[in-house]
Amino acid sequence: MSDTEPFAAVDLIRVKRDGGTLSPAQIDWLIDAYTRGHVQEEQMSAMAMAIYFQGLSDPELVRWTQAMIRSGERMDFASLSRPTVDKHSTGGVGDKITLPLVPIVAACGAAVPQLSGRGLGHTGGTLDKLESIPGWRAHLSNAEMLAVLDDVGGVICAAGSGLAPADRKLYALRDVTSTVDIIPLIASSIMSKKIAEGTSALVLDVKTGSGAFMSDTARAVELARTMVALGRDEGVRTRALVTAMDVPLGVAAGNALEVAESVDVLAGGGPADVVELTLLLARHMLELVGINADPAEAIASGRAMDHWRRMIRAQGGDPDAPLPQAPIVETLTADRDGIITRCDALAIGRAAWRLGAGRATKDDPVSASAGIEVLAKPGDEVRAGDPLLRLHAEDAARLEAALPLLAGPESAVVVSPPGTAYSRLPLVVDIID
Ligand code: URA
76-120 residue pLDDT tens: 999 999 999 999 999 999 999 999 999 999 999 999 999 987 776
Domain identity same for 169 and 35: no
**121 domain-assigned:** yes
390 has catalytic annotation? no
**Residue 120 Cβ contacting ligand 1 at under 6 Å:** no
**Residue 186 Cβ contacting ligand 1 at under 6 Å:** yes
Domain identity same for 133 and 101: yes
Buried b (16+ CB within 10 A) or exposed e, 366-393: bbbbbbbbbbbbbebebeeebebbbbbb
In sequence order, the β-bridge partners of residue 6 are none
Buried b (16+ CB within 10 A) or exposed e, 167-191: bbbbbebbeebebbebbbbbbbbbb
**424 domain-assigned:** no
Q: What is the largest CA-CA distance in the chain?
A: 76
Look up the domain containing 181 and give its range: 85-314
In sequence order, the β-bridge partners of residue 154 are 112
**109 domain-assigned:** yes
Residue type, 115: L
**342 domain-assigned:** yes
Task: Please tell me the distance from the alpha carbon of residue 257 to that of residue 389, in angstroms, as a whole number.
Answer: 13
**68 domain-assigned:** no
Residues 6+ apart with CB under 8 A from 324: 132, 256, 368, 369
Task: Please tell me the distance from the alpha carbon of residue 199 to that of residue 113, in angstroms, as a whole number.
Answer: 7
CA 321 to chain centre: 26
232 has catalytic annotation? no
Domain count, the chain: 3
Domain identity same for 332 and 364: yes
**Residue 422 Cβ contacting ligand 1 at under 6 Å:** no
The residue out of 282, 314, 346 marking a domain boundary is: 314
Task: Please tell me the distance from the alpha carbon of residue 157 to that of residue 137, in angstroms, as a whole number.
Answer: 8
Picking from 90, 114, 91, the residue whose alpha carbon sits closest to that of residue 101 is 114
**320 domain-assigned:** no
Q: Which of 190, 194, 206, 215 has the most ligand 1 atoms within 8 A of CB, as the residue to mutate?
A: 190
Four-residue CA torsion sign, 194, 166, 55, 232: negative
The residue ranges of the chain whose pLDDT is under 70 are 1-2, 120, 409
**Residue 121 Cβ contacting ligand 1 at under 6 Å:** no
**Residue 192 Cβ contacting ligand 1 at under 6 Å:** no
**429 domain-assigned:** no
Global pTM value: 0.96
Domain identity same for 251 and 135: yes
**Nearest C-alpha to atom 1 of ligand 1 is from which residue?**
190
In three-state secondary structure terms, 211 is coil
**Residue 190 Cβ contacting ligand 1 at under 6 Å:** yes
Domain identity same for 298 and 408: no
pLDDT value, residue 255: 97
79 has catalytic annotation? no
Q: Is residue 343 within 8 Å of 376, Cβ to Cβ?
A: yes
Query: Which tens digits make up the pLDDT trace of 305-314?
Result: 999 999 999 9
CA distances from 114 to 41, 110, 117, 157 (A): 30, 12, 10, 7
Atom index in ligand 1 nearest the CA of residue 193 equals: 3
Domain identity same for 201 and 339: no
Q: Which of 16, 88, 207, 350 is catalytic?
A: 88
Domain identity same for 169 and 214: yes
How much distance in Å is there from the Cα of 337 to the middle of ligand 1?
Answer: 42
Atom index in ligand 1 nearest the CA of residue 213 equals: 8
In sequence order, the β-bridge partners of residue 208 are 244
DSSP for 83-116 reads PBEEEEE---TT--THHHHHHHHHHTT-BEEEEE
Domain identity same for 213 and 93: yes
**169 domain-assigned:** yes
**Nearest C-alpha to atom 5 of ligand 1 is from which residue?**
186
Domain identity same for 180 and 293: yes
237 has catalytic annotation? no
Element (H, E) at 21: none
In three-state secondary structure terms, 146 is helix
**Which CATH number do you get for residue 409?**
3.90.1170.30
Q: Which of 52, 88, 180 has the most ligand 1 atoms within 8 A of CB, as the residue to mutate?
A: 180
Q: Give the torsion through C-alpha atoms of 133, 136, 138, 144, to 10 deg.
A: -150
Q: Which of 87, 122, 168, 174 is catalytic?
A: 174
Domain identity same for 182 and 132: yes
Domain identity same for 48 and 186: no
Domain identity same for 284 and 382: no
pLDDT value, residue 120: 67
**Which CATH number do you get for residue 47?**
1.20.970.10
**Nearest C-alpha to atom 2 of ligand 1 is from which residue?**
190
SS (H, E, C) 352-398: HHHHHHCCCCCCCCCCCCCEEEECCCCCCEECCCCEEEEEEECCHHH
pLDDT value, residue 161: 85
pLDDT value, residue 1: 58
Q: Which of 171, 197, 202 has the most ligand 1 atoms within 8 A of CB, as the residue to mutate?
A: 171
- Range 361-368, long-range pairs (CB < 8 A, 24+ positions): 361/120, 362/118, 362/120, 362/172, 366/119, 366/128, 366/255, 367/255, 367/326, 367/393, 367/394, 367/398, 368/131, 368/132, 368/255, 368/256, 368/323, 368/324
CA distances from 91 to 40, 120, 249 (A): 30, 10, 11
**Which CATH number do you get for residue 102?**
3.40.1030.10
**Residue 189 Cβ contacting ligand 1 at under 6 Å:** yes
The residue out of 279, 314, 349 marking a domain boundary is: 314
